[in-house]
Amino acid sequence: MIQVTNLHKAFTVKDGKTKAKKRIEAVRGISFQVNPGEIYGLLGPNGAGKSTTLRMIATLMQPDQGTIEVCGLDTQKEGEKVRGRLGYLSTDMNVYERFTPRELLRLFGEFQGVDATIAERRGLYLLDKLQLTDFSDVKMDGLSSGQKQKVSIARALLHDPKVVIFDEPTTGLDVLTAKTVLDLLRVMRSEGRTVIVSTHVMPLVDEICDRVGIIFDGELYGDAPPREILGRYSVRTLDEVFFKLAAGGGR
């Protein structure tokens, strides 16, 4: 289970031209909860604050304000334990290209405290699900970016995590591969895991998310099943919700 309460995060960036420091409020008071056996979709345009929120849940960033609990553990106090229960994947993660998928999976199994042989077996099972078995002993600098992404997915799920956080998992994948990833997420749900996916690909959300939260400019709108959101904004597709939000500058 994930419990996010009143999350805040700001960055200070330097303007390249004026050299003035600028404060960006990336996340402004977000709260939501995701339950086991549920897929939660975080939607929002570029720069909305999706990745920042997910990184804070994954303990890679510290919130300025607010609390996050993962499986009842405070992310800020028990980061190591939280990471042991999390499967985290984001677009800015790549594989170690000097290794083969098998070597990588064994190694990350050990990092996760899983016995290398068990890790390898589970990793290979995942690679099989993702149709990558033929490449399990190929050095990864010879794999396509989609194939590497699949290895990353296997890497993230290798230690049987209770909570799965996928930041734009289908980026760079063809429709067939994207479908296998979504199928895998469905399996995760049926196994009672807590799943969060971020995306700006709307049909994907429609298809697999039990509930969605729409992030716009660092704030959360919605937080309901997709059908309900459509009703609330009286639109037919989730894309139109974005257009409405953009036009209204929020509400």
Partner 1 sequence: MKGVGLIFKKEWMEFSKDRRTLLFTFVIPLILFPAIFMMMTKMAQGDSVRRRGQASRIVLNDPGGVMKPFLLEETKLFQLVEAPGGDLKQALRDKKFDLAVDVEEDAPGKLRRQEPFAVKAMVDESESASELALKRLKEAMQKQDQVWVQARLEAIRAPKDLPKPTNLIIEKASDLALEMSKLLGMIVPYILLIGLYTNAMQHGVYMTAGEKERHTLLSLLSTPLPRSHVIWGKLLATFSIGVLGTVMNVVGMGLGFLILGQQAVGSEAATAGAAAAPSLSFASLASPATLGLTLLLLIPLGLFFSSIILVLGTQAKNSREAMTAITPGIFVVVMLGVFSMSPGLEKMAALPYVPVLNVALTIRKLFSHEFVAWQYLLAFVMTSGLAAAMAWVSTSILNRESVIFKQ
Ligand X SMILES: Nc1ncnc2c1ncn2[C@@H]1O[C@H](COP(=O)(O)OP(=O)(O)OP(=O)(O)O)[C@@H](O)[C@H]1O
Which positions lie near Mg ion, rule CB under 5 A? 51
CB of 173 to partner 1, least distance (A): 17
The structure tokens listed for 13 are: 């960036």
Nearest to 63 by CA among 118, 15, 14, 25: 25
Tell me which of ligand X, Mg ion, partner 1, none is bound by residue 174, counting a contact when its beta carbon lies within the kind-specific cut-off of 5 to 8 angstroms.
none
Minimum distance of partner 1 from residue 240's CB (angstroms):
32
Residues 189, 127: Cα–Cα separation, whole Å: 19
Least distance between partner 1 and beta carbon 112 (Å): 6
Helix residue spans in 113-249 (DSSP H): 116-129, 145-157, 175-190, 202-208, 226-232, 238-248
Strands 86-89 vs 163-167: parallel, antiparallel or unpaired: parallel
Closest CA to 216 of 42, 33, 39: 42
Work out what residue 60 binds among ligand X, Mg ion, partner 1, none; the CB cut-off runs from 5 to 8 Å by kind.
Answer: partner 1
Near ligand X in 173-232, by CB under 6 A: 200
Q: 94 is in the binding site of which of ligand X, Mg ion, partner 1, none (Cβ under 5 to 8 A by kind)?
A: partner 1
Binding residues for partner 1, per CB under 8 A? 55, 58-62, 80-81, 83-84, 86, 88, 90, 92-99, 103, 107-108, 110-113, 139, 152, 155-156
Span near ligand X by CB under 6 A; candidates 44-52, 66-74, 151-159, 204-212:
44-52
From the list partner 1, ligand X, Mg ion, none, pick the one residue 149 interacts with, judged by a Cβ distance below 5 to 8 Å according to partner type. Answer: none
70: number of Cβ within 10 Å: 27
Task: Compute CA distances 186 → 23, 105, 227, 228, 234, whole Å.
Answer: 39, 22, 19, 21, 28
Q: How far is the CB of 120 from partner 1 (least distance, A)?
A: 15
- Integer Cα distance of 165 and 117 in angstroms: 25
Under 8 Å between Cβ of 21 and 29: no
Q: Which of 26, 197, 212, 214 binds ligand X (CB under 6 A)?
A: 26
Residue ranges binding ligand X (CB under 6 A): 11, 13, 24, 26, 44, 46-52, 200
